[in-house]
């Protein structure tokens, strides 16, 4: 068994690492060619807040040019400002990813401006908490559109562009609700199960075309959607996992970024990042 000497870097950063230590770890990864993303163009939908914003920042730290897309211009620009302040390149593109034509225009604009597309993260989404008897057809349709339809439109357009750019990877953001049942989440769970199904199917279609497609299934994460839940619901969700806490978006982003790098032999995988749900 190989023993690590005191002069070697730790195998992984400590759990209470500072922002500076996290950036040092990122820079160390940049020296590993499997993790280097210089010259790559990445599109992150839902990139203005939460998991999407954290993912965009980490991709930029590894050298990618990042495009963040979503419906609200202010949070998108805030993400771009953070990336540019770190010395990386990014821009925002306002788009409603539930609109098929808008998604086609978005991907075409990225390719036209950046010269190609290599990586994509589909993190736009939203949910509804309520018993099925309280869920009308319009609400169910809206949840399906922002999660399932948005992923379908985005992945279809991204796949064509990434293949034409020489290959790359896509990560879809599902949820633990997409791999198990949760009371009061029937519409959201149905939509996120659809994301899982599409990921697994399209990964098989894309494997021979140089594009890997995976998904992450985050547990309860400190996003705008979770912040809107009653405190007792958030406490119960945190208590349900082994780590007994809600995840930070940055923690989910790390798993997404790993699946986008060349340091992985994965496609069609759905990775639970859930703090140890039983």
Query: Using an 8 Å Cβ cutoff, are 264 and 258 in contact?
Result: yes
| Angle CA 52–193–222, to nearest 5 | 35
In degrees to the nearest 10, what's the CA dihedral of 142, 143, 145, 150? 140
* CB neighbour list of residue 74: distance below 8 Å, 6 or more residues apart: 48
CA 7 and chain centroid, separation:
35
Listing DSSP states for 199-264 in one string gives HHHHHHHHGGGTEEEEEEEE-SB-SHHHHTS-HHHHHHHHHTSTT-SPBPHHHHHHHHHHHHSSS-
Residue 155: CB atoms within 10 Å: 23
Q: Which of 53, 64, 188, 261 is catalytic?
A: 188
What are φ and ψ of residue 241, in 5° steps? -105, 160
**188 flagged as catalytic:** yes
Alpha-carbon Rg for the chain in angstroms: 18
User: 250: number of CA atoms within 13 Å, CB side?
Assistant: 11
Euclidean distance between CA atoms 98 and 185, whole angstroms? 20
CA 134 and chain centroid, separation:
30
Active site residues: 188
């Amino acid at each position: 068994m190989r023993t690590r000497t005191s002069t070697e870097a730790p195998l992984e950063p400590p759990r209470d690492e500072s922002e500076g230590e996290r950036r040092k770890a990122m820079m160390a990864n940049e020296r590993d060619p499997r993790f280097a993303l210089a010259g790559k163009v990445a599109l992150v939908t839902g990139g203005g807040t939460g998991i999407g914003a954290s993912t965009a920042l980490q991709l930029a730290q590894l050298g990618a040019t990042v495009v963040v897309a979503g419906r609200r211009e202010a949070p998108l620009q805030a993400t771009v400002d953070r990336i540019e302040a770190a010395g990386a390149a990014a821009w925002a593109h306002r788009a409603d990813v539930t609109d098929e034509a808008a998604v086609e225009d978005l991907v075409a604009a990225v390719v036209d401006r950046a010269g190609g597309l290599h990586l994509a993260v589909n993190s736009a989404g939203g949910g509804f908490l309520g018993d099925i008897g309280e869920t009308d057809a319009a609400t169910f349709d809206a949840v399906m559109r922002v999660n399932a339809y948005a992923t379908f439109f985005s992945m279809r357009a991204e796949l064509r562009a990434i293949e034409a750019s020489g290959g790359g990877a896509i990560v879809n953001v599902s949820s633990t609700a997409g791999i198990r049942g949760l009371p009061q989440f029937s519409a959201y769970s149905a939509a996120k199960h659809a994301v899982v199904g599409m990921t697994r199917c399209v990964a098989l279609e894309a494997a021979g075309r140089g594009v890997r497609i995976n998904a992450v299934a985050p547990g309860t994460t400190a996003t705008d959607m979770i912040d809107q839940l009653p405190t007792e619901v958030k406490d119960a969700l945190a208590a349900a996992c082994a780590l007994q806490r809600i995840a930070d978006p940055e923690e989910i982003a790390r798993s997404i970024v790993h699946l986008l790098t060349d340091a992985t032999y994965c496609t069609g995988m759905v990775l639970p990042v859930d703090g140890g749900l039983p």
